[in-house]
Amino acid sequence: MKPVNFIDQQKQVKEKANKFNYLLLIPVIFLVLAILFDYANLKTQIRRLERESVTYDNSLEEKLNFLKASNNEAEKQKNFYEKMKIKKTKEEELKKALLILNRETNNNIFFSEISFSENNFSILGNSSNKSNIQNLNQCIKTSELNLNLEEISLENNYYRFRYGSDQNENN
Amino acid sequence: MKIINSLSKREMLLIYVFTLLLVIFFYFNAIRGNLVSEYNTLLSSNNLAKEKQNNLIAELKNEEEKQRNFTNYIEIQENKNFGKNFNIETIKSNKDYKVSYLNISNVNKLDDGELQQFYIDKNISLISNYDSIKELTKTIVENKNLYLEDYQLNRIGKDEFQVNLIIREYTTLAVPFNGVAYSEKNLLSENIEENTNSKDLLSSLYSAKEVNNSKEETAGSSEKKEKISKSKENEIDLETDKIESIIQPASESNMVNELENFIIINSNNQIYNKGLEEYAKNITYLFDSEFVNNNIEEVNKISNIKEIIDKSSKDLLELKIEEDLYLTDYNLKIEKERKYVSFELDGDKNLMSTIYFLDNKGSTIIYRVAKSIDGFEEIVINLPTNADYPLRLCYIKNENSVLASKIRNVICYDRD
């Protein structure tokens, strides 16, 4: 029987056990690296998001508020000009009336006074007979002037007439 | 140790694996879990912010579009020639119009709580025939910057009409609401036309009045115009056919007295340095353009220099104005709040000048000046109380003069 070398056998077992222990370290190192990598990756992404959230936009809101305020002012200005346009259209009535009076009046029917302001437009005139007034009235109606024959009175041997319009009615 | 040693290899391996799993479990739960939830919170808040940002951008685009529209609209509508849209000179020079009264108001301010508006009124009274008045009315109505505030047309003869107009101009741009008014009253020198003997209504009504007038004319020639005037035109002042204006003609003695009260700096620099010291005490000076011109570099170094004058020269300050004069290079400033600035302006009678001041905030302050005599005339301007001093005299523009004119003796003062 061949004698057994217990010392050699023990050595071999120890060496095997050491090698096995080193092998066991590999998953630990792998795990630690994986955890570190994952952690770093997550942290970087969080930092990026944080950066984005800070820079996203205070300037936009400021710009918007400024624009809104300036547009608000501009709108007031626009409203003012719109109001002025309405005022101008009322003046067109005066221009139209002057043209009609120029065309439709003669020595027997004529105006003596025209008064125009933002809230009042009136024409005073004289006529030798009623039919002339009727003709003028017809003419004014067809030309869509906002004037109404408000008064006719007989003075001595001629008629006095008054056209008027309440400009506020238009508003 | 004993426990570990007593364990079998298999058991130790099992513990090792469990320990690894525990570490993984701990990392996932305690560390990674927190990080992921933090990441998710940030991501969702960022998404919300992005959504908000997109909404903001959309709103911004909308507002920008609105602004473009408003700007275009206002650009078209804005009265760019505030106060100049109706030239009274053309009315005065037109022989068809017998002008009896002209008045240009100060610049007035209207504030309806929403928007500040400024307006200037031109009040005109004239006599003419129907066609001319119709044309004048048409011109005013067709000008989008002119508004008829009041219009009274009266027949005073067969083909003779008197019209009283108030023409208003508006602006929403900031202009000072105290200005220099202009007013002129003329005599109606021409008589109403001769009678006609027609038998129609017009002749019978209006000839009768003219007969009455002519009777009055024969009764007393010295009173005739007054009577006609009283019956037709109350505003006509028969006593004065002079131009009335708030511009006061300068008297030399007054000017000399005025000068005595101010520190004067001449161009030989002797008093100049002393003057600068005095400047620190906020004393008002007079300035001389020639001096400023000759010492422009030094003047520029001392930006707060106000007014310098050469007393020995008779023409204390002379700036030649040919149409427009830019004064920005002269650095002429009114450093401290003053009530008045006065200067003498050369030029023809009826010369219209616009004087532009710029305050520290960059607002333009405009004064319109009308001359009432030929040659030098003292112009006194009430300086605005709400301006941000220093006030820089930056620009003078002549409107209706082809001749060169001059400005001299600029004085700022507080006394009435």
Q: Which residue of chain A has the CA closest to B113?
A: A76
Taking a contact as any Cβ pair under 8 Å apart, which residues of chain A between 67 and 106 contact chain B?
Answer: 67-68, 70-71, 73-81, 84, 87-88, 91-92, 94-95, 98-99, 102
- Enter the ipTM: 0.71
- pLDDT tens readout for residues A46-97: 998 888 776 656 677 878 888 888 888 888 888 888 888 888 888 888 998 9
Q: How confident is the model at residue A148 (pLDDT cuts 50, 70, 90)?
A: confident
> Does A61 lie at the interface with B, CB-CB under 8 angstroms?
yes
Give me the pLDDT at residue B408, please.
Answer: 64
Report phi then psi at B205, rounded to 5. -75, -50
Give me the pLDDT at residue B271, please.
Answer: 41
Sheet bearing B319-321, strands edge to edge = B319-321, B405-413, B340-345, B377-382
Report CB contact under 8 Å: B56, A53: no
Give me the pLDDT at residue A138, please.
Answer: 87
Give kind and range of the element (H or E) at residue B348: none
The structure tokens 């590999």 sit at A26
Give me the pLDDT at residue B18, please.
Answer: 92
Report CB contact under 8 Å: A94, B36: no
- pLDDT tens readout for residues B174-210: 665 444 455 555 534 443 333 334 456 677 767 654 4
Which residues in chain A touch residue B74, judged by CB atoms under 8 angstroms apart? 74, 77-78, 81
- pLDDT tens readout for residues A95-112: 989 988 888 888 888 888
- Best of A56, A59, A161 to disrupt the B interface by mutation (most B CBs within 10 Å)? A56
Give the N- to C-terminal CA distance of chain B in Å, as an integer: 110
CA A87, CA B161: separation in Å to the nearest integer? Answer: 25
| Count of C-beta atoms within a 10 Å radius of residue B279 | 19
Which residues in chain B touch residue A35, judged by CB atoms under 8 angstroms apart? 23, 27
Which residues in chain B touch residue A52, judged by CB atoms under 8 angstroms apart? 46
Pull the structure tokens for residue A169: 């009615």
Give me the pLDDT at residue A34, please.
Answer: 92
| Count of C-beta atoms within a 10 Å radius of residue B264 | 19
Pull the structure tokens for residue B122: 């031109």
Residues of chain B with pLDDT below 50 are 177-180, 187-198, 209-289, 296-297, 299-320, 322-323, 328-329
CA B355, CA B327: separation in Å to the nearest integer? Answer: 10
Give percent of chain A above pLDDT 90: 11
Give kind and range of the element (H or E) at residue A112: strand A109-117
Q: Which residues pair with B243 in a beta bridge?
A: B184
Q: Which residue of chain B has the CA closest to A124?
A: B154
Residue B74 has its nearest CB partner, among A78, A99, A115, at A78
Give me the pLDDT at residue B62, please.
Answer: 92
| 8 Å CB contact between A71 and B60 | no
Which residues in chain B touch residue A24, judged by CB atoms under 8 angstroms apart? 16
Pull the structure tokens for residue A35: 């955890």
Q: Which of B323, B391, B282 is nearest to B381 (CA)?
A: B391
CA B28, CA B123: separation in Å to the nearest integer? Answer: 89
Pull the structure tokens for residue A21: 């222990």
> Does A152 lie at the interface with B, CB-CB under 8 angstroms?
no
**CA-angle at B80, arms to B135 and A89, nearest 5°:** 45
Give me the pLDDT at residue B195, please.
Answer: 39
Query: Helix, strand, or coil here: B262?
Result: coil
Which residues in chain A touch residue B155, judged by CB atoms under 8 angstroms apart? 110-113
Pull the structure tokens for residue B221: 């020639």
- pLDDT tens readout for residues A13-57: 778 777 877 888 898 899 999 999 999 999 999 998 888 776 656
The structure tokens 């002037």 sit at A145
CA B157, CA B205: separation in Å to the nearest integer? Answer: 9
Give me the pLDDT at residue B272, please.
Answer: 41
- Best of A39, A83, A112 to disrupt the B interface by mutation (most B CBs within 10 Å)? A112
